[in-house]
Structure 1
Amino acid sequence: MSLLANLSWGSVYFASEWLIRLAMLIVVPFRRSPEAAKGWLLFVFFLPWPALVLYHIIGRPNYPRWRRERFARLPVVFKGVADRVRALTERQEPELPENLKQAATLIQNLGRFPSVDGNSVELLCSYDESINRLIADIDRATGHVHLLFYIFADDRTGWSVIDALAHAVERGVTCRVLIDALGSRAWAPRVVDALRQRGVAVRLVLPVTLLRRKSARADLRNHRKIAVIDGMIGYVGSQNIVDADFRPGITNQELVVRATGPVILELQGVFVADWFLETQEILHTPDLFPTPAHTGHVVAQVLPSGPDYPEASVGRLIEAMVHGARRRVVITTPYFIPNEGLLHALGTAVLRGVEVHLVLSKPADQLLVSLAQRSYYAELLGAGIRIHLYRDKLLHAKHMSVDRRVSLIGSSNVDMRSFTLNSEVSLILFDREVNAELRTEQERYFASSEELSLDTWKARSLASKTIENIARLVSPLL
């Protein structure tokens, strides 16, 4: 009797696995890229029940219903803010060659922010310098300080910023801070407590708990790094508020933009929208959007992206910029897991005679991502794309230059997570001088890197190739 019962339960389980496979074959491909669909279906084929559970948790790149409802209210809630930004900024179409004009139009259509003239930009390549400049600007703030960061630690760097915010509050400055709940999970309770004790308004973004009805999905994060001081100075880039060596054995190398001028109102708009999504508080006082001073001649544009903006994928912009390139493309990123569209764009650019460089980090902090990334190297090298592996430090900087006219600097990596799952922000700069300065930094990367050759890469062991290609099978899920 016991044997029959076991056979019966075994039959039921076997049948349930095939029901899951067949059902997921219909469900998974809907509104999903072919690469992601293939990854999920492979997982489902081998482990149906674990795949079903994981798919229920993270299978769809959608925020909770409450957040989607709040985001739907943004056009109405912030109509006054949007009108003021449009009134205060002088829209100017950047003077670009014909091959890049469509990319500029795409940025505006995706992110809803126009290109604006009259900005000044500094590239901060030193980790300590960018923190010191931020603190100096906080120390000079007279109205407000807004910070939005994926990681805000309570280490030496974090406390230097906490102290600066505390002094600003003592002077009567309003300070607001948004911190991603999962990115800062190791430090969040202490940082939040320290900031609140010092009078700073602080919120954790997208908290994840098992029992809360409004808990967010663990894999949908706010990965932005934004600072806005008095609506006149802004910071954006790859650097978090944490010590450069916060991971044992790894030191980060970053790049941050410090900007002034009308484009800061667009960065402010991204922060104000995120603040509303977390608190339902509408920030619309005139001091948040002051009449901007023209501080330079750089034409700039902000692109927010993420699940809130399903059409505004930074991946689409990167592909368009590669397709529009005529001379040279350099992409710098710590995590490179491209989709088929980007792979095709890069290979086609080489065939058109474009010089294409990828600057990636030799030290790695995420093993599975690193293995999956390495599985693309042979294909990229075979297509004529030059790969530079930055030595010594984890090159965490995220930027791109096209020809001599367009630069993109922000928080987005070149992978599905940044293209689809994370909320990111990018600053696009249409300026020859800024591009030249970025090219100088890229040349420094080249000099501090090992350039891969196809023959040497193909000579690695069969075990390495096997492990990397297995990791590649799940790369659409990373």
Structure 2
Amino acid sequence: MMSMLPTLGEAYYVLEWIIRLAMLAVVPFRRNPAATTSWLLLIFFLPLPGLLLFLAIGAPRFPRWRTARFRQLQPFFERVAIRLEQAAPPAPDTPADISTLAERLGYLPATGGNAIELLEEYQTVVDRLIADIDRARSHVRILAYIFADDETGRNVIAALQRATQRGVACHVLFDPVGSRKWSKRLQRRLEEAGVAVRAALPFRLLRARTRRDMRNHRKLFLIDGEIGYAGSQNLVSRDFRPGVVNRELVARVEGPAVAAMNAVFLGDWYLETEDLLEPNPAIPESAASSTLQILPSGADYRLESFQALLTWQVGEARREVVIVTPYLIPDESLLTALRTAVLRGVDVRIIVSSVIDQWLVRLAQDSYYDELLRSGVRIHTYRDELLHAKNVRIDGRLGILGSSNVDIRSFQLNEEVSLLLLDPACIARLEEIQRRYLSHSDEITRAQWRQRGRLRKLAENGARLVSPLL
């Protein structure tokens, strides 16, 4: 008598189809079309491995406990915003449409009366930061994606230790994935130096995030609530990757905008510890005149703040758009905005790095070049160093620099922070820097780009399929 029980192979075949059909209903929920397509393709061809990967990193949302904790911070952000608006209103010629949207996205208003330096030299940033820490009187707060236990990191730790010995309260948040090579030694060294230290978004088995690779990618260094650094530079030696030398851009700020930077750090510290270090951060004064605004973004916020602002402003551009980013994986809305801007006669330029540190991301990035070049977008590749700086300039009305790349990861998965430049003098200084980038770059022509080999094109197309998952 033949057995009516299915064989192992038959059972696995049925299971695969159950997974495929079930995920048709699950995957599209609250995902963009590109991500939906990538996940469904993966699950169709590899149902069980695809399901396991989806369960690990498939949903770009934080769990309910963290969402509730972020809601508890809303009165804090509202208090900071009200005090900033009263103490340091922006200059009258500030673009109100930009500042209003940015405040609604990130809860923090534009402020006038700031002093800002744009620092291009890597070691200069480290030296200035250490000097500022050595002059600190009350507190030092550092948030970094990569905080390394290398020469650069140890020099910063030594400055923090000198500060704690003077009675200065020092707090450090670092990302355990970005700093994974050094995380255990780093935490031990910081604790031995008297620094209060926490890992940002740590993995906890019982209180896990829905997606394991959502990271805190912000870089903020704050001294006494009076000086703030924001930009792309981590606390690691500039050549920490063999054969790769990083080039960065960092803003050193004094004035009311530092209170907004401080609020972002205090919020992140509270999310990890439930300890609000300073319920009413001081608002520093400055005799300068720059108008700046802090725009945090990430899964805690209602919309993809940086993406929403960037896409809208590209769509509003009339003369010029310059985007500098090491990683370029745009979504369809930004691609459409860029193509449409060119049709309106806008000069659209994208500056990327010729030096590669992540091959799969680079292949996915390259897959967008042909359609961008075909539409008239000009692409320039920066020579010799990894141009890790992230900045944008649009029409002389808006400058942006910060931690956010122009890719889906920064748009939807990472916690990021951007500094908006809202006055002509600041934007002009950013323009000078971008022109130096262009003078050290090579422009890609469409004819040149189309000469690459078929295997290369195939690899790019494959990487593009998984780009929403990177």
Q: TM-score under structure 2 normalisation?
A: 0.96
Q: Residue 127 of structure 1 is aligned with which of 118, 122, 129? A: 122
**In the alignment, is the contact (CA less than 8 A) between 2:77 and 2:108 conserved in 1?**
no
- What amino acid maps onto 1:149 in structure 2? A
State the 1:93 CA deviation. Answer: 5.9
Q: Residue 185 of structure 1 is aligned with which of 176, 180, 183? A: 180
Matches within 5 A, 1:56-455: 56-76=55-75, 84-91=83-90, 94-96=93-95, 101-208=96-203, 212-216=205-209, 217-284=211-278, 289-455=281-447
With over 3 angstroms needed to count, the CA separation of the structure-2 counterparts of 1:4 and 1:372, relative to structure 1, is: farther
What is the alpha-carbon distance in structure 2 between the residues aligned to residue 313 and residue 79 of structure 1? Answer: 18
State the 1:297 CA deviation. Answer: 1.1
What is the alpha-carbon distance in structure 1 between the residues aligned to residue 174 and residue 93 of structure 2? Answer: 34
- What amino acid maps onto 1:21 in structure 2? R
- What amino acid maps onto 1:249 in structure 2? G
What is the alpha-carbon distance in structure 2 between the residues aligned to residue 80 and residue 350 of structure 1? Answer: 42
State the 1:323 CA deviation. Answer: 1.0
What is the alpha-carbon distance in structure 1 between the residues aligned to residue 301 and residue 45 of structure 2? Answer: 33
**In the alignment, is the contact (CA less than 8 A) between 1:81 and 1:284 conserved in 2?**
no
State the 1:30 CA deviation. Answer: 1.2
What is the alpha-carbon distance in structure 1 between the residues aligned to residue 393 and residue 77 of structure 2? Answer: 33
What is the alpha-carbon distance in structure 2 between the residues aligned to residue 61 and residue 88 of structure 1? Answer: 37
State the 1:12 CA deviation. Answer: 1.7
- What amino acid maps onto 2:457 in structure 1? K
Question: What SS does structure 2 have at the residue aligned with 1:474?
Answer: helix
**In the alignment, is the contact (CA less than 8 A) between 2:304 and 2:412 conserved in 1?**
no
State the 1:87 CA deviation. Answer: 4.5
What is the alpha-carbon distance in structure 1 between the residues aligned to residue 438 and residue 375 of structure 2? Answer: 20
State the 1:331 CA deviation. Answer: 0.3
What is the alpha-carbon distance in structure 1 between the residues aligned to residue 92 and residue 372 of structure 2? Answer: 34
Question: What SS does structure 1 have at the residue aligned with 2:73?
Answer: helix
With over 3 angstroms needed to count, the CA separation of the structure-2 counterparts of 1:380 and 1:163, relative to structure 1, is: same
Following TM superposition, where does structure 1 have runs of at least 4 consecutive aligned residues deviating by more than 6 angstroms? 3-7
With over 3 angstroms needed to count, the CA separation of the structure-2 counterparts of 1:83 and 1:402, relative to structure 1, is: closer
What is the alpha-carbon distance in structure 1 between the residues aligned to residue 35 and residue 5 of structure 2? Answer: 37
**In the alignment, is the contact (CA less than 8 A) between 2:174 and 2:198 conserved in 1?**
yes
User: Structure 2, unaligned stretches of length 5 or more?
Assistant: none
What is the alpha-carbon distance in structure 2 between the residues aligned to residue 438 and residue 414 of structure 1? Answer: 18
Question: What SS does structure 1 have at the residue aligned with 2:329?
Answer: coil
**In the alignment, is the contact (CA less than 8 A) between 1:103 and 1:320 conserved in 2?**
no
**In the alignment, is the contact (CA less than 8 A) between 2:115 and 2:290 conserved in 1?**
yes
State the 1:422 CA deviation. Answer: 0.3
- What amino acid maps onto 1:220 in structure 2? M
Identity over aligned pairs, percent:
51
What is the alpha-carbon distance in structure 2 between the residues aligned to residue 214 and residue 89 of structure 1? Answer: 40
How big is the alpha-carbon RMSD for the aligned residues of Structure 1 and Structure 2? 1.8
State the 1:6 CA deviation. Answer: 9.8
State the 1:292 CA deviation. Answer: 2.0
State the 1:159 CA deviation. Answer: 0.8
Question: What SS does structure 2 have at the residue aligned with 1:120?
Answer: strand
Report the equivalent of 2:28: 29
- What amino acid maps onto 2:36 in structure 1? A
